[in-house]
Amino acid sequence: MATNAWDGHEYDAVSRQRFVVGDLLIRLAGVRPGEDVLDVGCGTGELTIKLAKIVYPGRVLGIDNAPGMIEVALSKAQAAGMLLLVLALLPLVCSFSAASWRKGRSWKGQSILIRHLP
């Protein structure tokens, strides 16, 4: 298995626009207090922490397969006083049929939001 060497600090430095889109997706999802959220590919936890503040006392589980991302996410969660926010390093295998992937190019369709309605 290849090592996933994402650098969370470098990612944050170039991802401000992505976070703006993420904020919009959070609003469109209409998450509410008391709900539980799974953030797959949580990266550095920027949106995960925002979700945790919105859904409290609900729970948020953020998972990512890059140690460098989870390291930054844990640091941010601790700094925000989110000691009960769960962030986990898990190997992920995902298929995004609506997104396109090209070798040497960035992934198009970078933010995918799935909302489960009971």
Task: Using the predicted structure, report yes or no on whether residue 107 has a pLDDT greater than 70.
Answer: no
pLDDT tens digits, residue range 37-49?
Answer: 888 888 899 999 9
Dmax over CA atoms of the chain, in Å, equals 42
> pTM of the predicted model, to two decimals?
0.72
Q: What is the mean pLDDT of residues 71-85?
A: 86
The answer to whether the beta carbons of residues 34 and 55 sit under 8 Å apart is yes
| Best CA proximity match to 50, nearest among 63, 40, 41, 37 | 37
Contact in structure between 39 and 70 (CB atoms under 8 Å): no
* Residue 52: pLDDT band with limits 50, 70, 90: very high
| 8-state DSSP, 45 | S
